[in-house]
Structure 1
Amino acid sequence: MTAALVVLGAGAAMAYVLGSWFPRIVAGWVGRGHGIESVPAPAWATAAKVGTVVLDRWGTVTTGKLRVTTVDPLEPDHLRNLRWFAGALEHEAEGRLARAIARISPRGKVTAFEQVPGCGVRGSVDRHPVRVGRPGWVGMAERNDLGVVVGVELDERPLGYLVVGDDIRKDATASVSRLTALGVTPVLVSDDTARNTEHLAQSCGIERCHPEIAPEKRARLVAELQEQGQVVAFATSRAEDAEAQAVADLGVGGGGGVRLQDLDAGRIATLLSTARGVVAGSRLARVLALVPAVVGLALVLLGLGSVLIAAVCAVAALVTAAVVGAIVVVRSQNLSRT
């Protein structure tokens, strides 16, 4: 009997330990197939408790890029020239705005390129003087379109307007819905204007947003949410948000501990759902793994057991812990995508 009890005790202890860590292993295996690259072990429990996720504008509900939404020449037959000269000049510039405009045309022969701080860029494209920047700087009337409006001047004459806006992810609304379905409140933070930020939030189904919020103020926002009793995750790819991520309970992307393939809000929803599966799976696996052990103990105490039966019950406890934990984790990922 003593040997049987030792076998059962060892099996139950091993099953308890297996139930604690095996769901994390399964989550790591399965998660990599869904873009969850690295999650520190303690972060799973934190992620399972997240009730608010702060989403930086770049890369979460947008692709992280800008795009030209409107090409508006002053004369209809100048459409090709507007795209060509503006795009060719912006190939020489840096920044998201420049890259967005550069994508509307191939490169040209640019000389005398100069960036004018606070105004725009200028130079010669195929020996034609070109300026791209604030409409007032190039002698054009200001406009109030959504996004960033730039004017284009060719040969010292106004050519037309370009409007550049966020490149919103096609599945942004569905991704935000997945977060809210989990009971998680998304909060959008942006360095853009109030009008543009509110439009982006509404387009994605986000009710709460904070426009024109500097990096140093984002940490305070996280602290305020925590003071309201929320467990807060902060998702960003920007190094400037390191302080806010340090304050947050869970940092996703950037300098945070959790690394994803990208910061798509849908991927964040999968992460949080999987984390809940890890915690639930660990809890359930530890409980159900005791059932075979208790059955084996009862048989031994009644004199109906043997070392062989005890070993079978111990193995059954280990298998139960592994299978139950794995099923709960996989099921949590499947549910998060429905």
Structure 2
Amino acid sequence: EIPTAEVAVDDLLLVRPGARIPVDGIVVAGESDVDESMVTGESLPVHKEPDGEVIGATINTNGTLRVRATKVGADTALAQIVQLVQEAQNSKAPGQQLADRAAFWLVLVALIGGGLTLLGWSLSGATFATSLLFAITVVVVTCPDALGLATPTAIMVGTGLGAKRGVLFKNAAALEASARIDTVILDKTGTLTKGEPEVTDFITDGAPESEVLALVAALERESEHPLAEAVVRYAEAAGVAALSSTTFENVPGHGAVATVDGHRVVVGNARLMKREQIKAGDLAGTRDELAAGGRTAVMAAVDGLAVAVIGIADAVRETSSVAIRELHDMGINVVMLTGDNQATADRIAGQLGIDTVIAEVLPSDKANKVKELQEQGKKVAMVGDGVNDAPALALADLGMAIGAGTDVAIETADIVLMRSDPLDVPTAIRIGRGTVRKMRQNLGWAVGYNVIALPIAAGIFEPSLGLKLTPEWAALAMSGSSFLVATNAILLKRLRLPSIEDVGESRDQGPDEHAEAGATL
């Protein structure tokens, strides 16, 4: 064992069960579940295997891993998170700059007010001691502590609350900007979807589904195509028999042919079926229907007869529908931006209840779409994960980068979502709105307190009502106002944020009122 400070890039580390992973790295050998909750906020352990990335300071739970260090010291993800949070808490929001100017003027008001109070009471015939007492009370009661604490306390609580949920605000301005957002643009692939295909439909012509699926899966296990991997995952989840193929022929761009358990199995597109002289028959209509719905339709044939159609599509993240619903509940218009075809985009939009779909967009045009919405007077937040999203993230009023995305996207964005979870988009906006609301409440209290306390401290109501403050009570009132401001900011921790439990509620309720596809641009 060596100190973490002595670990260098490319060093090979042995991480035992229960040990904390010292640096960021890539798994070279071994499998294990890693608790990443302190970094991502995700409560469930994440399975790691060779070529998987691990994050420093996370806990290896049950297996032994050999890890090659890729980032050490200040370059690790945890160090970057700490730096981002510190910078955000130390930064000044536009509202805080206004409060700082107000605090400066309040000091002048206190000094001038104290002087005028001393002069006024002296001219009215009061003794110098009485006049000085009122003047000191004015200076004490108008101390700008509450005004100075109004925004920094709310910012510290807001950024800390976000960090616990894996939502990193790069600065206080991002908090304020998130509160003004009325339109959110979501990139489809990698944001709303997992970016990997999954089987959505497996339709047979009457043959036993389990038998057909077992034959098809045996063929697909020999292929390295992403669609083949999706079929294998589907078969494993269904628990069908694991058969083996004896011969296998890959047909690039079309599919594959294999012999499985004495049967000739063909899986692929219409061109492969035509080459093998296999007619789709009654399944042709099903195939066309799936294709029209934005799915990739794959035919399966056994011994020269078409027996099944497999619908495959990009897998929607489990939390996407709840994220859209939460955004709608906040009165935010949701736009899905994608370079995919219109049919696929409409299918995802209909499934999630998205308001507006902008499909078949070239990567270079994403920023233009953001600009078009801004020209309509919208306050736009852009959520993306790729290099091609970076210009749009920079142009938007608020850029959010999915944490699993590229370094370029993360560098450009104002907010980083560490968990790669679309549910963190409404979470970030709720935190922003809650923080700004607390800032305004604190500023309102600080200003209101001074407006009320200053004339009382100056003794204006003493002749008529006998109402006055002594310096001791003025100091107590000033301290009390600062305490109330700090307490009000801490109450931000009670803010209701979207959670994974809402996903289960969404499934129980079924499709919500937004479940129809929205407008198309």
* TM-score clears 0.5: yes
> What residue in structure 2 maps to residue 137 of structure 1?
272
> Equivalent residue for 2:446?
289
User: In the aligned structure 1, how far is the partner of 2:229 from the partner of 2:304?
Assistant: 24
Q: Tell which deviates more after alignment, 106-115 or 213-222.
A: 106-115
Measured after TM superposition, the shift of residue 231 of structure 1 is: 1.4
Larger CA deviation: 251-260 vs 115-124: 115-124
Which secondary structure does the structure 2 equivalent of 1:161 belong to?
A: strand
Letter in 2 for 1:324: N
Q: 1:113 to 1:88 in 2, by over 3 A?
A: closer
Say if 1:329 and 1:222 are closer, same or farther in 2 by CA, change over 3 A: farther
Instruction: Give, in whole Å, the separation in 2 of the partners of 1:167 and 1:26.
Output: 36
Alignment RMSD (CA, Å): 3.6
- Does residue 274 (structure 1) correspond to residue 403 (structure 2)? The answer is no
Q: Does 1:321 align with 2:456?
A: no
Does the 8 Å CA contact 1:233/1:252 hold for their aligned counterparts? Answer: yes
Q: Deviations over 1:231-263 (max 9, x none)?
A: 111112333322222222211124223122445
Residue 399 (structure 2) pairs with residue 251 (structure 1): yes
How far has the Cα of 1:61 moved from its partner? 4.3
Letter in 2 for 1:316: G
CA contact 1:114–1:123 (8 Å) conserved in 2? yes
Structure 1 unaligned segments of length 5 or more: list them: none
Instruction: Please name the residue that 2:105 is paired with.
Output: none
Map 1:34-73 onto structure 2 (within 5 A): 34-58=165-189, 60-73=191-204
Q: Is the 8 A contact 1:133 1:151 kept in 2?
A: yes
Which stretch has the larger CA shift, 213-222 or 74-83? 74-83
Work out which structure has the larger RCO, using CA pairs closer than 8 Å and 6 or more positions apart in sequence.
Answer: 1
* Matched residue count: 333
Query: Residues of 1 paired with 2:248 and 2:136: CA distance?
Result: 85
Amino acid at match of 2:481: A
- What is the letter of the counterpart of residue 133 of structure 1? G
Match of 2:13 in 1: none
> Percent identity, aligned pairs only?
26
Query: What residue number does 2:375 align with?
Result: 227
Q: Does 2:311 match 1:311?
A: no
The structure having more radius of gyration, on CA atoms, is: 2
Deviation at 1:164, TM superposition (A): 1.1
1:103 aligns with 2:233: yes
Q: TM-score, normalised by structure 1?
A: 0.80
Paired with 1:116 and 1:29, the residues of 2 have a C-alpha distance of 54
Inter-partner Cα distance in structure 2 for 1:115 and 1:232 = 46
Tell me how far apart the structure 1 counterparts of residues 245 and 483 of structure 2 sit (CA, whole Å): 68
CA distance in 2, matches of 1:220, 1:250: 15
Q: Work out the CA distance in 2 between the residues paired with 1:297 and 1:92.
A: 80
> Equivalents in 1 of 2:387, 2:491: separation in Å?
37
In the TM superposition, what whole-angstrom CA distance separates every residue of 1:274-321 from its partner, at most 9, and x where no partner exists?
A: 212222221221120234445553443228444432321221121222
Contact between 1:91 and 1:102, CA under 8 Å: does it hold in 2? Answer: no
Q: Provide the secondary structure at the position in 2 that maps to 1:253.
A: strand
Q: TM-score, normalised by structure 2?
A: 0.55
SS in 2 for 1:76: coil
- Check the 8 A contact 2:217/2:232 in 1, yes or no: yes
Partner of 2:87: none
Q: 2: distance between equivalents of 1:307 and 1:111?
A: 95
Structure 1 residues 122 and 30: CA distance shift in structure 2, 3 A: farther
CA contact (8 A) 1:40 1:257 kept: yes
Once the two structures are TM-superposed, the CA of residue 151 in structure 1 deviates from its matched residue by: 2.3
Report the CA distance between 1:187 and its aligned residue: 0.7
Q: Output the CA distance in 2 between the equivalents of 1:331 and 1:125.
A: 57
Indicate if the aligned counterparts of 1:86 and 1:152 stay in contact, CA closer than 8 A. Answer: no
| Distance change (3 Å), C-alpha of 1:153 and 1:86 | farther
Q: Residues 149 and 310 (structure 1 numbering): CA distance in 2 closer, same or farther, change over 3 Å? A: same
Identify which range, 294-303 or 226-235, moves more after superposition.
294-303
The 10-residue stretch of structure 1 (277-286 or 80-89) with the greater mean CA deviation from structure 2: 80-89
Bigger drift between 290-299 and 237-246 goes to: 290-299
1:131, 1:152 within 8 Å by CA — same for their partners in 2?
Answer: yes
- 1:35 CA displacement: 4.5
Q: Secondary structure at the match of 2:489?
A: helix
Matched residue, 2:150: 19
SS in 1 for 2:270: coil
